[in-house]
Structure 1
Amino acid sequence: MLRKQRKNELKELIFSTSLQLFKEKGYERVTVDEITQACGIAKGTFYNYFPRKDTILLHLGSYQMEVVHQAISHTSNLPGNKERLLTIFRELFGYLEENRDLVKVVYFELFHSPMLMEQEGKQVKDFQAALIPIMKEGIAKKELKGHMNPESLSSLVISIYFQTVMNWLSFPDQVQNPVSMFLDQFEMVWEGIGVNKKGE
């Protein structure tokens, strides 16, 4: 147990040190040698945890999923399905804004790495799977239209999220507040998938 804990701590040290260097110098300018020197570890140790430098970016993506799962957990007592979804996405955007430069690197590195693209696809599926129970609950509570597919609803909301993120990263001058952009689009979609007060 202690050995596993030490391994996890070392992995987190490598990860956090790498992120700090990426922030200071830029992802492209940081080498594995610099990371290992800053951590005080051998190069082989680094590769035991991260086969390549870009796999550190995948670890950043896994942190996003932790934010999602934590948000899902602590919003379980909120009364409305819509309020719960919005809270989850607000927290996720808060995390992205704190790590904007690194998130930008992740997204644009995806287009150059089939491995990163594949792993990102798995994380998107995990994200979708995490939201499906919320959609099912919304249907059961008659907050969402009963004939709609929970998987499709989850995919739809996530698509809005990723579109907003890509616009925010690609056109920062035009999209200075990604949360507002997401909320505007979410409200338009909710008009179509939500049940009105008369239950129609």
Structure 2
Amino acid sequence: MNKTKRAIFQSAIKIFSTNGYDGATMDEISASAGVAKGTVYYYFKSKDEVFKYIITEGVRLLRQQIESINIGEGNYDYKLRELSKDQLKLVYENRDLFKVIMSQAWGGKIRHFQLRELLKVYMEDIENFLIKAMDDGTIKKCESSFLTYIYFGTLVSVAVYNVINNDSMKLDEITDNFMEHLLNGIK
């Protein structure tokens, strides 16, 4: 992505995060990016197109992490911890993007369905990862689809917890706590 498109991308995330989808305007995005409105329209035909680009890139980042850890060295006990840590780190480093994605996951408009389709593919990546962890013996065998949503929901909750508590916990500490409760339950 070139410098101008990156500036538009980052500004759009900020504007969507602050104002919500409905409150965001192409004028605000262009002003925040420091480019003419026509420049924004050169790269994106509409606010919908900007939004779609943001969510596509955001989910692509999440999926890339899964792929890189999956093909990396180590057993799945190690890989599961690294995946959890890296996913949390990505959320913390891209809070506004995370906020945009999570705020738009519900609803009945085309953009909501598009986001859910992207998240569905991401969830399939997580599920495939967890199946390999089951096959490796790292986690007990169970219904993988349900486990995937438990994993994702818990990970999102941990991210929200840390944001609400002003990042009082360090990433390694959060990951250790997450892994302890994920692998050993709350019993």
In structure 1, what is the Cα distance between the partners aligned to 2:60 and 2:86? 11
The answer for the alignment partner of 2:149 in structure 1 is 155
| Per-residue Cα deviation, 1:121-174 (whole angstroms, up to 9, x for no partner) | 22331221002222222222222223x1222222221111122233344x244x
Q: Look up the match of 1:141.
A: 136
Corresponding residue number in structure 2 for 1:164: 158
* 1:16 corresponding residue in structure 2: 7
Q: Give the superposed CA RMSD.
A: 3.6
- Deviation digits for residues 52-99 of structure 1 (CA, Å, limit 9, x no counterpart): 26x534433333322233222322233221321221232222222222
| 1:21-74 CA distance string (max 9 Å, x none) | 7659x743864135446434627835x735326x53443333332223322232
Instruction: Report the Cα distance in structure 2 between the residues aligned to 1:113 and 1:166, rounded to whole angstroms.
Output: 24
Partner-residue secondary structure (3-state), 1:186: helix
TM-score, normalised relative to structure 2: 0.69
**Contact 1:62/1:123 (8 A) holds in 2:** yes
Structure 1 length-normalised TM: 0.65
Structure 1 residues not aligned, in runs of 5+: 1-8, 193-200
Among all aligned residue pairs of Structure 1 and Structure 2, give the percentage whose two residues are the same amino acid: 12
Q: State the Cα deviation string for residues 97-125 of structure 1 (Å, max 9, x = none).
A: 22224433543455688444433322331
- The residue identity in structure 2 corresponding to 1:64 is G
Give the match for residue 124 of structure 1. Answer: 119
Alpha-carbon distance between aligned partners in 1 of 2:13 and 2:139, rounded to the nearest angstrom:
43
CA distance in structure 1 between the aligned counterparts of 2:40 and 2:7, rounded to whole angstroms: 18
Identify unmatched segments of 5+ residues in structure 2. none
Distance 1:31 1:43 in 2: 14
Change (3 A) 1:57 1:44: closer
DSSP 3-state at the match of 2:47: coil
Q: Residue 180 of structure 2 aligns with which residue?
A: 187
Matched, 1:59 2:59: no
What SS class does the counterpart of residue 46 from structure 2 fall into? coil
Aligned length: 177
Larger RCO (CA under 8 A, 6+ residues apart): 2
Contact 1:14 1:39 in 2 (8 A): no
> Structure 1 residues 163, 120: closer, same or farther in 2, change over 3 A?
farther
Larger-Rg structure: 1
In the alignment, structure 1 residue 39 sits paired with structure 2 residue 35? yes
CA distance in 1, matches of 2:134, 2:98: 33
Name the stretch that deviates more: 76-85 or 125-134.
76-85
The answer to whether the Cα contact below 8 Å between 1:111 and 1:117 also exists between their aligned partners in 2 is yes
